[in-house]
Structure 1
């Protein structure tokens, strides 16, 4: 396999980040215009910057994808994606649009893993995280679009209705196939 980037995509709260952590690959750090939350570290959790810098990066074509959520920009720089082509195996969580663009740019070097869970399961997870009704509505607004886009994935893992542990087992089974060392 000549895979350099594993992309997890699926609806909000479907389990993408959890499964990304289970795979245990170095992850691509994305950008945001929001301030760091308590405990977050610049360059580890996100590249934190102001909105003007991200807007300039977008205008100059330096971003693979961007989105706006709750008044803040989030995105992935092209430089970080292109670095994966030459420097080992990495992973990232992207929405359907970002995943499509990553596949267009890197072709077969991208493994798209779709993560699915029912809308009710995603909503329950968001409630458990302390999200309010408006946040839940906003985060699940693209649920159907994200589910429909899973048809473009190389592998779809179901993580809802108590299946998150089984999904983790499937992802752990991929490690040797990808040449990834087992995560601690």
Structure 2
């Protein structure tokens, strides 16, 4: 199997980033216009830049996908996916459904689409545990139904809700030998 990129997708707080870390692949670093939080490092956690820079990159067609959350832009550069496609090594990324479709179109079978699902109530509880306020939770889960429906396009769907996160970890770890890890 010649996979270059493992794409994690699913609703907010479904466990995508947790399972991405369990897989242990180098991740593609995405971009944001927000300032770094305490402990975050430019080029490691995100590529931190000005909103105008990201808007210019979007207008020049240099972004695979972008979204806005709480007044800040977030996105993935097309170059990062193209680097992976040209043999930069096996990588992973968390994408929304539209970005995942573009990555799949660019990489074909070299992209493994891994959907992560959890019940809306579980996602809401996780967001509450992270300290999100009700307005933030509503915004983060506004697209929940669409995110769940989009999992239909994934190669594998892992359920991480209702106490199944440990089982989801086991499934993701079982993928490592298939990926040559």
2:151 and 2:49 map into 1 onto residues whose CA distance is 31
Unaligned 5+ runs, structure 2: none
Deviation at 1:106, TM superposition (A): 1.0
- Report the secondary structure of 1:75's partner residue: strand
Indicate the residue corresponding to 1:164 in structure 2. Answer: 165
1:38 and 1:87 map into 2 onto residues whose CA distance is 30
Indicate the residue corresponding to 1:2 in structure 2. Answer: 2
Indicate the residue corresponding to 1:11 in structure 2. Answer: 11
State whether structure 2 residue 106 is matched by structure 1 residue 111: no
Deviation at 1:130, TM superposition (A): 0.3
Indicate the residue corresponding to 2:62 in structure 1. Answer: 62
Q: Deviations over 1:23-53 (max 9, x none)?
A: 0000000000000000000000000000000
CA RMSD in angstroms, aligned pairs only:
0.4
> What does 1:38-117 correspond to in 2, within 5 Å?
38-85=38-85, 86-117=87-118
Q: Please list every run of at least 4 consecutive aligned residues from structure 1 whose deviation after the TM superposition is greater than 4 angstroms.
A: none
1:25 and 1:3 map into 2 onto residues whose CA distance is 12
1:3 and 1:87 map into 2 onto residues whose CA distance is 12
Indicate the residue corresponding to 1:150 in structure 2. Answer: 151
> What does 1:20-39 correspond to in 2, within 5 Å?
20-39=20-39
- Report the secondary structure of 2:137's partner residue: helix
- Report the secondary structure of 1:83's partner residue: helix
Deviation at 1:152, TM superposition (A): 0.2
Deviation at 1:105, TM superposition (A): 1.1
Residues matched between the structures, number = 180
Deviation at 1:88, TM superposition (A): 1.0
Deviation at 1:125, TM superposition (A): 0.1
Deviation at 1:114, TM superposition (A): 0.2
> What does 1:123-134 correspond to in 2, within 5 Å?
123-134=124-135
1:103 and 1:34 map into 2 onto residues whose CA distance is 28
1:148 and 1:35 map into 2 onto residues whose CA distance is 33
TM-score, normalised by the number of residues in structure 2: 0.99
TM-score, normalised by the number of residues in structure 1: 0.97
